[in-house]
Structure 1
Amino acid sequence: MKKLGSLFLILILCLPAAGCRAGFQQQNSSGQSVETRETAVRNLVTEFGKQLQNVSLTASKEKVAEDMQKYYGDYVTPSLLEEWQTDPSSAPGRTVSSPWPDRIAILSVQRLADDAYDVTGEIIEATSADESGGQPAGKKGIRLSVRNIGGLWLIDDVTVDQQTLLAAVVYENTQYGFTVSLPSSWKGYTVRTEDWQGYSLVPGQEGKITETGPEIFVRHPKWTKETPRQDIPILIFTLDQWNAIQKDQFHIGAAPIGPSELARNSKYVFALPARYNFAFLPGYEEVDTLIRGGAVKATEKFGGS
């Protein structure tokens, strides 16, 4: 009985440690779905991002090496870890007391093979003031190479840019005056335009189309008819139209809530359709991250399409 009790205690102590890595120990088998592999890669990068604040790159070399082993060891390959321990300046981590690297916001996940992915994102920096709901203190672009080695997802290469990778590709529209900043994986994007229709809510005119305007869709280059991906949809309103929809004079679509403003210039308001991503198409999380990160910005450059 005493031996059984000891064995039970050992199992209990081991479970948490095993659980920490369970999400990344994805076997590279032909029966595993693309979604499962991508989820494992995203989980790995997200969890790695939470560790960055724990490693002070300005500490003694011995302390940095010790902390890297403790906080990075489960997430990166031994060769990359050794490289960082030898030259901490090449590694991501904490360089000052404030701001500190708070997390990694994933912008895109690109599949190179069943066991190889490239991830583009941003290191979001924070201060104590940010924790109360303020804007991030800063951002740095980061690109990570993730591989499945012996059934374990590990990061085997990292590039950190002082300039964000968000603006690697930029769509500029000078007809209405706005830009959309995109990660490099969107190179080769396409753009299509449709018209939105506004249905009157004014008594006596209910249901009549009283307003129209353009809706521009920025489409990922991997979008196909067989496997569609989430577009970035942008509704364009004149200032008068936007004021009217805010006063419930008309509505767009069947959703009970209206569009949300993304940006505006002196002539137009750019807005996101309500429930635009409820189909949960591939890439919807990336599009949401881009939009929340301020990818759509207004300009005062007019004069073309």
Structure 2
Amino acid sequence: MAFTRATGKHRAPGRLTRTGAKAVGVATLAATGVIGSLASPALAAGASPAPAADETGLAQIMSIENTLADRIDAQAAAQQHQADVAQKKAAAEAEAKKKAEAKKKAEAKKKAAEKAARAKAKAEAAARAEEARESTSRAARSSARATPGTSYQLPVAGSYVTTGYKSSGSLWSSGSHSGIDFHAASGSSVVAVGAGTVVEAGWGGAYGNNIVLRMTDGTYTQYGHLSSIGVAVGQSVGAGQRIGLSGSTGNSTGPHLHFEARTTPSYGSDMDPVAYLRAHGVTV
């Protein structure tokens, strides 16, 4: 056979190159008649030398490979760019979501603070209103005590109890005190604790000079040991109106005012005078 091989060392082509070269070689051999010469030794004996690579199409194959590689690189670069864009977009969306949640929490906190402030202001306003009502009520009660005929009050202004209700002792025939004693110097003004009508005014035995009033609520009050009486039976009196002067008449050890609250005008129907006065708004 007339095949020759150039001398020298050559680098082995890659798989794709070898495959392409093989295909091109086969095509080239077919085109040049080498295959035919292999099939016919007689024809091969006079054949010309193998054509150059650029004449066989190998250069074209290599160019195609390079173009394909460039396309793959371009496609990879495009995919990487898309991935980078998607990553940046996801990061931006996450940051925006984080900011939105922070804003929402801040607004919720602000609303809660405003609600608490409104509730506090409302409670303070209610407390002030209640305090104003109470102040007005106290003023009204104080005014009523100071104005005759409008409300219950102490029988001796500014006085205090010296002997309590149901105190025991030999001074009382029943063995216990049927009323309470108010401190009062002789000649102190004695007033009606509330509005009523005089049902007794005169000597009352152990009570000395005494007055009994039928109050407008149907109860009765008694004022004993008076030095003088300033009203008459059947007379209407108002709360705070003077009805007599304190003294030490009857069964008494010294000047004071004996005061009773009763369910009837008679002795023995007494009830707790302190509770009675307090029930009518009087501080005792």
For this structure pair, what is the TM-score category when the shorter chain's length is used for normalisation?
under 0.3
Higher helix share: 2
Structure-2-length-normalised TM-score: 0.26
* Structure number with bigger Rg: 2
Higher strand share: 1
Structure-1-length-normalised TM-score: 0.25
